[in-house]
Chain A
């Protein structure tokens, strides 16, 4: 049996309508305990209305060594930003 509890990543929705955001990680024996721990560790000051947890080992991450190949090609393509439109004065918030 493994001695240490596995690691879980914790995501908290701070208010209804907002998205869940990654807030940190913790150890727990299983997913249910991870939710309870997340409640105790990360929502003590009314930080949230909903909790997601996921085993850290289940997260698939991009390789930092691939950063150039993955992200460099977007650097010289400023036209992908929607900043070339003229915005009518009447539109206050966009």
Chain B
């Protein structure tokens, strides 16, 4: 096994959870209802918990003494390996729900498959995260259906969000050499084998939500290879501000 490959793979999983969790955190105090405020906060905490486990492990694999905090707060945007979809702005509540639902569906397939990883620590983290993710998917797909099959305005707005975010889904199952190396060793699943299940799952939710599935897009986003949209830099500016300004600060 190549340690650099495993390190990069763990960053992809951990960073996707971290960045999505940070995005959800931006809703606190602003959600449409108190109950949703707590709901989104709970999702965010689950995701940041997953990120901590993944990034801690990544730091050990890397072997350069970087722990979860150093990886989260002291890397620049090009070193982040999250899916480009995760860093897209919250927009309205419907936009946040669509982003969440697409990634929840991806994480469901990933964690399910990773439970069988030959890397026992990664398998254990996936097993824990899968339970959380099942609830996340229930939450986000439930809201997708409510908004899609809701009022004329909610339908129109959530369809716009599906159309706007769909191009980023190409990256979810596009394998590169890191995915292929780890799949060959049984550490990671073969992404192309997971796509049909994801596609069927999101297709079912779209039908129930009376939403139209956008056409296939082949624009290759490369967030997991460190090529990000402009949004990530702004996010990190806020997220990392404290540690950058007061290195090592604790409470």
Beta-carbon contact of B39 and A36 below 8 Å: yes
Q: Is there contact, CB below 8 Å, between A41 and B146? A: no
Chain A residues with CB under 8 Å of B142's CB are: 32-33, 36
A37 to chain B: which residues have CB within 8 Å? 35, 38-39
What distance in Å separates the Cβ of B131 from its nearest Cβ neighbour in chain A? Answer: 13
Is the Cβ of A40 less than 8 Å from the Cβ of B146? no
Which chain B residue has the least Cβ–Cβ distance from A5?
A: B33
Q: How many chain-B residues does the 8 Å CB contact rule pick out?
A: 11
A28 contact set on B, CB distance < 8 A = 35
The 5 closest A-B pairs by CB, nearest first: A37-B35, A40-B39, A40-B38, A40-B42, A41-B38
Secondary structure call for the B interface: helix
Chain B contacts to A: CB under 8 angstroms:
33-35, 38-39, 42, 135, 138-139, 142, 146
Contact residues in A for B138 (Cβ distance below 8 Å): 36
Interface residues on A, range: 10 to 19
User: A26-43: which residues lie under 8 A (CB-CB) from chain B?
Assistant: 26-29, 32-33, 36-37, 39-41
Q: Which residues of A contact B33 (CB under 8 A)?
A: 5, 27
Q: A26-B34, A36-B139 are in contact. List 6 more A-B contacts (CB 8 A).
A: A5-B33, A27-B34, A32-B142, A36-B138, A37-B38, A40-B39
What's the least CB distance linking A44 to chain B, in Å?
7
**A26-B35 contact, Cβ under 8 Å, with A36-B138, A36-B142:** yes
Taking CB as reference atom, which chain A residue is nearest B41? A40
In the assembled complex, the Cα of A36 lies from the Cα of B36 at a distance in Å of: 10
Whole-angstrom distance between the Cβ of B227 and the nearest chain A Cβ: 35
Min CB–CB distance B46 → chain A (angstroms):
11
Digitize A18-30: 1 where CB-to-B-CB distance is under 8 Å, 0 elsewhere.
Answer: 0000000011110
Separation in Å of the A41 CB from the closest CB of chain B?
Answer: 5
Task: Determine if B146 and A29 form an interchain contact, defined as CB atoms under 8 angstroms apart.
Answer: yes
Smallest beta-carbon distance A29→chain B, Å? 7
Q: How far is the CA of A53 from the CA of B109 in the complex (A)?
A: 32
A sample of 10 cross-chain residue pairs with beta-carbon separation below 8 angstroms, ordered by A number, consists of: A5-B33, A27-B34, A28-B35, A33-B142, A36-B39, A39-B135, A40-B38, A41-B34, A41-B35, A41-B38
